């Protein structure tokens, strides 16, 4: 195992790996000793309860309709970026330094969506650049993904909520059409919702994170899976193994 892989596994609480004496190292016993490439079989088995499919369409973008904010549905990238920069549709803009549009490959197959910018993101204008961002980068690395390389990262709201509070429903409603336009332009094969706010906002219904994990949902024609928010994982490191299961599930979905 190289040093980088070991560091990723340590960060995810999956290292050291304990192997029964005499037992050959198998995919199960060495889940990420070599974090598997996206194209290859998952190194760890996806548990049965994570194999259910819900309401996801077979092909992404079949009849994608971006829930509307009049005037967003025909915007190209430069127009959309400008519209977000100029936005004052809710009160969040008045209290933040700058809007945080999103970052990455605009033709990415993978879209990761968080909740909203924190202090570091507000200062730098890029999503997930603080401590939670470092963990997200390691989560990506654990399934051989990299920020900006076939990956796009965005948030439900583009302005930092004061004190990092959860965005209010009216703030989410005001901002969500921008994200839906980003989704329509990117055309990702899979959305990974990071945390409950991202999941419930994109799915348009309330549910617990636990009840949403382990299934493929439908976000207006794009398959969506749910996992824990990296900031939650920093507070609850014991849950990192579950997040890794979700990532393996996501990667497996991308192979089908």
What is the secondary structure of 192-226 as a DSSP string?
A: EEESHHHHHHHHTS---HHHHTTEEEEETTEEEEE
Nearest to ligand URA by Cβ — which residue?
A: 114
H or E element at residue 78 = helix 77-85
Q: Which of 31, 102, 116, 167 contacts ligand URA by CB under 6 A?
A: 116
- Considering beta carbons, is residue 57 or 125 the nearer one to ligand URA? 125
| Binding of residue 167 to ligand URA (CB under 6 A) | no
CB 109 within 8 A of CB 189: yes
| Binding of residue 104 to ligand URA (CB under 6 A) | no
Shortest Å, Cβ 196 to ligand URA: 11
Q: Which of 36, 42, 102, 118 contacts ligand URA by CB under 6 A?
A: 118
- Considering beta carbons, is residue 228 or 249 the nearer one to ligand URA? 228
- Considering beta carbons, is residue 62 or 119 the nearer one to ligand URA? 119
- Considering beta carbons, is residue 42 or 130 the nearer one to ligand URA? 130
| Binding of residue 101 to ligand URA (CB under 6 A) | no
| Binding of residue 112 to ligand URA (CB under 6 A) | no
3-state secondary structure of 129: coil
Q: Is the dihedral of CA 132, 147, 75, 81 positive or negative?
A: positive
Give φ, ψ of 149 to 5 degrees.
-115, 95
Please state, in angstroms and rounded to a whole number, the distance separating the CA atoms of residues 242 and 212: 13
What the block records as the tokens of 69 is: 């904010």
Per-state percent for the chain, helix, strand, coil, to nearest 5? 40, 10, 50
Shortest Å, Cβ 178 to ligand URA: 15
Pick the piece of the chain touching ligand URA (CB under 6 A) from 89-97, 115-123, 178-186, 246-254. Answer: 115-123
Q: Which residues bind ligand URA (CB under 6 A)?
A: 114-118, 121, 127-128, 132, 155, 231
């Amino acid at each position: 195992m190289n040093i980088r892989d070991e560091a990723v596994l340590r960060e995810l609480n999956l290292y050291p790996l304990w192997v029964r004496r005499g037992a050959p190292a198998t995919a199960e016993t060495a889940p990420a000793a070599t974090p598997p490439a996206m194209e290859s079989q998952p190194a760890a088995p996806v548990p049965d309860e994570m194999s259910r499919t819900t309401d996801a369409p077979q092909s992404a973008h079949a009849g994608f309709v971006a829930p509307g904010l009049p005037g967003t549905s025909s915007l190209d990238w430069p127009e959309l970026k400008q519209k977000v920069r100029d936005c004052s549709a809710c009160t969040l803009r008045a209290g933040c330094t700058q809007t945080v549009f999103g970052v990455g490959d605009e033709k990415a197959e993978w879209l990761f969506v968080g909740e909203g910018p924190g202090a570091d993101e507000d200062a730098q204008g890029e999503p997930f650049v603080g401590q939670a961002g470092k963990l997200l980068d390691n989560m990506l690395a654990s399934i051989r993904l990299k920020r900006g390389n076939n990956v796009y990262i965005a948030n439900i709201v583009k302005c930092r909520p004061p004190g990092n509070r959860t965005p209010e429903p009216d703030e989410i409603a005001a901002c969500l059409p921008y994200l839906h336009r980003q989704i329509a332009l990117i055309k990702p094969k899979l959305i990974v919702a990071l945390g409950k706010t991202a999941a419930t906002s994109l799915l348009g219904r309330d549910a617990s994170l636990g009840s949403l994990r382990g299934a493929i949902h439908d976000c207006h024609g794009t398959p969506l899976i749910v996992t824990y928010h990296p900031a939650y994982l920093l507070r609850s490191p014991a849950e990192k193994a579950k997040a890794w299961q979700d990532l393996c599930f996501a990667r497996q979905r991308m192979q089908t």
